Amino acid sequence: MKFESFGIENITADLNRLDDLMPQYGLIRAEQWDYERVSYDRKFEIKEGTFYLRILGFATEGDVGAHRAVIKLMVPLLGKHYYPHGVEYGEGEDFPASLVKQSEKILAQIKEELTQFNGL
């Protein structure tokens, strides 16, 4: 499921700022990065299954590995995990309404903080 209505995509932010902000909302970068891309994930384990809210980004300047990069965010995703195949984001997936609402709240708060910080 794509969250295109939040306007997070195309926001740019310093990597270190994102690394400070995202964990406040349970989104962890951990080891999901390379020198040009990042992925912040929040895991939800509920009775309907295991789901991930994911915010992806890519470096427009600098190097992620050196912790000196400007990251352009992409459209946030919500996916359901299927063992052993991985996470599916398809439109045919069924996402609990409460999970969608919680994800939307998180994304709105992140956008507000990034907008204030960037002076947009």
Enter the pTM of the model: 0.89
- Phi, psi torsion values for 61, nearest 5 degrees: -145, 150
Whole-number Cα distances in Å, 6 to 1, 21, 34, 36, 57: 13, 17, 26, 24, 15
Mean per-residue pLDDT of the chain:
90
**Ramachandran angles phi, psi of 15, nearest 5°:** -55, -45
Measured CA to CA, the distance from residue 104 to residue 102 in angstroms comes to 5
| pLDDT tens per residue, range 25-79 | 999 997 766 889 999 999 999 999 899 999 999 999 999 988 899 999 999 999 9
